[in-house]
Structure 1
Amino acid sequence: MDDFADLVGPYRPELLLHCYRLLGSRTDAEDALQETLLAAWRGIDGFEGRSSLRTWLYKIATNRCLNFRRRVPPAPAPSFTPPPSSRSGDVPWLQPFPDDLLPDAAYEMRETVGLAFITSLQRMPPRQAATLILRDVLDYSTAEVAAMLGETPTVVKGLLQRARASRAPAPAAPPPGSPEEVALVDRFAEAFSVRDMPALLSLLTDDAWLSMPPAPHEYHGHQAIAAFLRSSPTWRPDLSLRLTPTRVNTQPAYACRLDDAPAGLLVLTLHGDRIAAMTRFLPDSETAG
Structure 2
Amino acid sequence: MSLSPSPAEPDELFRARAGDTAAFDRLVAPHRHRLHRHCYRMLGSPHDADDALQETLLAAWRGLASFEGRSALGTWLYQISTHVCLRLISQRPWRRESPDHAPPLHTTAELGEMVTGPIWLEPLPDDDAPWRGEAHEDPAATLARRESVALAFVAALQHLPGTQRAVLLLREVLEYSAAEVADMLDTSVASVNSALQRAQKTVRERLPAVSQPAELLSLGEDGLQRLLGDFLSAWDARNVQALVRLFTDDVRFTMPPLPSWFDGVADVEKFIAERVFATPWRMRPLWANGQPGYACYMKAEGDDRFRLGAITLLSVRGGRIAGLHSFLDPALYRRFGLDEELS
Instruction: Point out where structure 1 has 5 or more consecutive residues left out of the alignment.
Output: none
RMSD: 2.5
Counterpart residue number, 2:92: 70
Amino acid at match of 1:119: A
On the 8 A contact 1:13/1:101 being kept in 2, the answer is no
Match of 2:254 among 211, 221, 232: 211
2:124 to 97, 106, 109: 97
Q: Which residue of 2 aligns with 1:129?
A: 165
Q: Which residue of 2 aligns with 1:161?
A: 197
**1:231 to 1:130, Cα distance in 2 relative to 1, 3 A:** farther
2:76 aligned with 1:56, yes or no? yes
DSSP-derived class of the 1:288 partner: helix
Report the residue type matching 1:108 in the other structure.
Answer: L
Corresponding position of 1:286: 332
C-alpha distance in 2, partners of 1:144/1:208? 42
Structure 1, residues 36-67: CA drift from partner, whole Å, max 9, x if none?
A: 00000000111011111011000111110111
Aligned to 2:187: 151
Whole-Å separation in 1 of the counterparts to 2:62 and 2:128: 26
* Offset, 1:119: 0.7
Report percent identity of matched pairs.
Answer: 41
2:4 aligns with none
Aligned CA distance change for structure 1 residues 50 and 287 (closer, same or farther; 3 Å): farther
Structure 1 residues 107 and 231, CA gap change in structure 2 (3 angstroms): farther
For 2:274 and 2:166, how far apart are their aligned partners in 1?
40
In the alignment, structure 1 residue 180 sits paired with structure 2 residue 223: yes
Whole-Å separation in 2 of the counterparts to 1:155 and 1:217? 40
- Offset of 1:190 from its aligned partner? 1.5
Alignment of 1:190-229 (within 5 A): 190-229=233-272
The structure that has the greater radius of gyration is: 2
- The answer as to 2:159 corresponding to 1:116 is no
| Change in 2 beyond 3 A, CA 1:54/1:95 | same
Q: 1:12 aligns with which of 13, 18, 32?
A: 32
Aligned to 2:281: 241
Which residue of structure 2 aligns with residue 277 of structure 1? 323
Q: Is the 8 A contact 2:111 2:260 kept in 1?
A: no
Whether the aligned pair in 1 keeps the contact of 2:257 and 2:329 (CA below 8 Å) is no
Q: Deviations over 1:73-125 (max 9, x none)?
A: 9x9xxxx84469xxx9xx94211111127993784321221111111111221
Preserved contact between residue 83 and residue 228 of structure 1 (Cα < 8 Å)? no
Aligned residues: 276
Residue aligned with 2:285, SS = strand
Residues 195 and 235 in structure 1, CA contact (< 8 A), matched pair in contact too: yes
* Partner Cα distance (2:201, 2:231) in 1: 33
> Which stretches in structure 2 are left out of the alignment for 5+ residues?
1-20, 99-107, 300-305, 336-343
The TM-score with structure 1 as length reference comes to 0.88
Instruction: Give the SS at the match of 1:228.
Output: helix
Q: Secondary structure at the match of 2:325?
A: strand
Q: For residues 243-281 of structure 1, what are the alpha-carbon distances to aligned partners after superposition, in whole Å with 9 as ceiling and x for unaligned?
A: 000111111010000011111101011112111211001
CA contact (8 A) 2:293 2:312 kept: yes
1:37 to 40, 43, 57: 57
Deviations 1:100-151 (A, max 9, x none): 2799378432122111111111122121111111111111111111111222
Residues 151, 193 of structure 1: alpha-carbon distance in 2 compared, 3 angstrom cutoff: farther
C-alpha separation between the residues in 1 aligned to 2:254 and 2:142? 24
Aligned to 2:165, the other structure's residue is in SS state helix
C-alpha distance in 2 between matches for 1:196 and 1:243: 15
TM-score (norm: length of structure 2): 0.75
2:94 and 2:194 map into 1 onto residues whose CA distance is 29
Distance in 2 separating the partners of 1:177 and 1:100: 20
Structure 1 residue 173 displacement after superposition: 1.3
Tell me how far 1:72 sits from its aligned partner.
7.3
